[in-house]
Copies of this chain bind each other. A is one copy, B any other.
Amino acid sequence: MTETIPHWLTKQAYLAPNQPAIELENGTTLTFLELKQKSQIFARKLASLGVKNGDHIGVLSTNDVRMIIAIHALSYLGSVGVLLNTRLTTQELNYQLRDAKVSIVLTLDDLYPKAEQLDVEIVRSFSMIDDCMEKKIPLVTELNLEDDFTIIYTSGTTGFPKGVVHTYGNHWWSAISSALNLGLSKEDKWLATLPMFHVGGLSIYLKSVIYGMPVMLFEKFHVGSVHHAIMHRGVTMISVVTIMVQRLMEKLGEEFYPEHFRCMLLGGGPAPKALLEKAKEKLVPVFQSYGMTETSSQIATLSPHDALNKVGSSGKPLVPAQLDIINPDHENIGEILVKGPMVTKGYFQNQAANEGSFKDGWLATGDLGYLDEEGFLYVVDRRKDLIISGGENIYPSEVESVIAGLEQVKEVGVVGVENEKWGQVPYAFIVPNDPKLDKEDVYHFLQTRLAAYKIPNEIYFVEELPRNASNKLVRSKLLNLMNK
């Protein structure tokens, strides 16, 4: 039997109408009642554009309160939001729009010129929607936890981006699981700087309406203003990636955070031990976590209490979640499986990927790891060969398949290289068909085809690629070619 709950934003507007829901960098706040009213008006305007129950609607926006309003508006219509990474190229976006069967894209006004290039029937900026008439229609009052709410694309080891479908239930359980782990206080205020088009960013705004908690919305991560907000604006929690921790720690210097600041939730890859030690010394409550788009946000977390005893661990799975390691090798390292009600039921219309990844309710993550004797998870390889650069995932296979599209390229291998600023950056090793091919040609070709952060920082031309006995590319040996 399917569970239904009252619409979460309507509910908070009823429980706590005057409680701030969103606080902007400039100090403006929006209460839950105001957020509901604006979202419902926006929904009725979208309805006049023809948006209806079940439609897949693209949303192309950087962090902005109008993006939140748009997402809640879609929930009031029963439509599904396909959240688009603004850093992708037109070609990359068109692939996702086509795959997700999107015919309407909503966009931040500033991004309208970019959105106009997209291959969809209708493109509207948020301001253009504001100018529409409201259509008098009944709005959604109850959320069925099995209904689809968002689709967010993720690449995989195969290199083809896949649309991860999140139901209302996935997001609900993710928020509840996090609360069971981190606790819940009426004093909480979560600072959001991660992109809302990633699940880690989006999840903060959904926690907001599920908990009745204010979120401080920052368009971007500016170390100065984030530091100031933690020190002086009542922030109790923040979601970060490693690079942000580094910069915040530098900024913190000799100071200490206020006592009510109780959680720095660290996602997007492992943190260096030196950084964790520094954080402990400065009493910064860093919670290392493990999660992915498919798990709707973190699915395992390590508390600050254990951070130094268990360096490199991502902790234990959240209360409703389960982890398993299959096919362990002689060091007990195997593939990490995850299960739980926050895990996506599948990729959008992608039978091959679903059959490959899901079995008996378990999702095979492709990541390698092991559990220690106390059951703490250590992730050894974030998916095989995955490159994490400034919190963004880069799949070597995706970059390789784009570069291979250049006819002067015979074969290509891409690998991540440690980088002080970004954690990792991609390097490409190309075996050319044509000796005249140079780096400029490659960069020119990639410019329109790959988001900037995916474009290799270095390109090497080599005679052949390292391969194993079955002739498969061994990316881990690519770096040896640098000295040749």
* Interface residues of A, Cβ cutoff 8 Å to B: 1, 3-6, 8, 11-12, 14-15, 142, 146, 169, 173, 176, 179-180, 183-186, 210-212, 316, 319-322, 339-341, 345, 361, 375
Chain B residues with Cβ under 8 A from A173's Cβ?
Answer: 3
Give the nearest-CB partner of A3 in chain B: B341
A279 to B151 Cα, complex, angstroms: 50
User: Once the chains are docked, how many angstroms separate the CA of A316 from the CA of B185?
Assistant: 19
Contacts of A3 in B (CB 8 A): 169, 173, 320, 341
A-B contact pairs, 17 of them (CB 8 A): A1-B146, A1-B345, A3-B320, A4-B339, A5-B320, A5-B340, A6-B320, A14-B375, A15-B316, A179-B179, A179-B180, A180-B184, A180-B210, A180-B212, A183-B185, A210-B319, A212-B319
Is there contact, CB below 8 Å, between A361 and B4?
yes
Residues on B with C-beta less than 8 A from A146 are 1
Within the assembled complex, what's the spacing in Å between the Cα atoms of A12 and B345? Answer: 26
Given contacts A5-B341, A210-B319, contact A183 B186 (CB under 8 A): yes
Q: Which residues of B contact A321 (CB under 8 A)?
A: 6
Which of B184, B212, B320, B375 lies in contact with A179, CB distance below 8 A? B184
Question: Given A1-B146, A183-B183, A184-B183, is A8 in contact with B319 using a C-beta cutoff of 8 Å?
Answer: yes
Residue of B nearest to A12 (CB): B319
- The answer to whether A319 touches B1 (Cβ under 8 A) is no
Q: Are A14 and B341 in contact (CB under 8 A)?
A: no
Whether A316 pairs with B14 at a CB distance below 8 angstroms is yes
Residues of B within 8 A of A345 (CB): 1
Q: Collect the chain B residues with CB atoms within 8 Å of residue A142's CB.
A: 322
Residues of B within 8 A of A375 (CB): 14
Assembled-state Cα–Cα distance A179/B178 (Å): 12
B15/A319 in contact, CB under 8 A: yes
Partner of A322, one of B6, B176, B211, B320: B6
The CA-CA distance from A400 to B319 in the complex, in Å, is: 48
Shortest Cβ distance from residue A287 to the other chain B in the assembled complex, whole angstroms? 13
Instruction: Find chain B residues with CB under 8 A from A5 CB.
Output: 319-320, 340-341
Chain B residues, CB < 8 A from A11: 319
Chain B residues, CB < 8 A from A185: 183-185
Q: Which residue of B lies closest to A188 (CB)?
A: B183
Q: Which residues of B contact A15 (CB under 8 A)?
A: 316, 319
**Which residues from chain B contact A4 at a C-beta distance below 8 Å?**
339, 341, 361
Inter-subunit contact B180/A211 (CB<8 Å): yes
Q: Which residues of B sit under 8 angstroms from A211, Cβ to Cβ?
A: 180
- Which 4 residue pairs of A and B lie closest in terms of their CB atoms, listed nearest first? A5-B320, A184-B184, A3-B341, A183-B184
Among A5, A179, A212, A339, chain B packs the most CB atoms within 10 A around the CB of A5
CA of A12 to CA of B316, assembled, Å: 11
CB distance from A189 to the nearest CB of B (A): 14
Q: Which residues of B contact A183 (CB under 8 A)?
A: 183-186
List the B residue with the shortest CB-CB distance to A11: B319
Further pairs besides A5-B320, A6-B321, A142-B322: 19, Cβ < 8 Å: A1-B146, A1-B345, A3-B169, A3-B173, A3-B320, A3-B341, A6-B320, A8-B319, A11-B319, A12-B319, A176-B176, A179-B180, A179-B184, A180-B184, A180-B211, A183-B183, A183-B185, A184-B184, A210-B319
Which of A11, A14, A186 has the most chain B CB within a 10 Å cutoff?
A: A11
A301 to chain B, nearest CB (A): 10
> What is the bound-complex CA distance between A339 and B212, given in angstroms?
20
Residues of B within 8 A of A180 (CB): 179, 184, 210-212
Which chain B residues border A6 with CB–CB below 8 Å?
A: 319-322
A16 to chain B minimum Cβ distance, whole angstroms, is: 9
Which B residue sits closest to A169, measured CB to CB? B3
Q: Name the CB-closest residue of B to A375.
A: B14
List the B residue with the shortest CB-CB distance to A16: B316
Bound CA–CA A9/B114 (angstroms)? 52
B-side contacts of A184, CB under 8 Å: 179-180, 183-185
User: How far is the CB of A319 from the nearest CB of chain B, in Å?
Assistant: 6
CA distance A169 to B4 in the complex (A): 13
User: A172 — nearest CB in chain B belongs to which residue?
Assistant: B320
Q: How far is the CA of A185 from the CA of B184 in the complex (A)?
A: 7
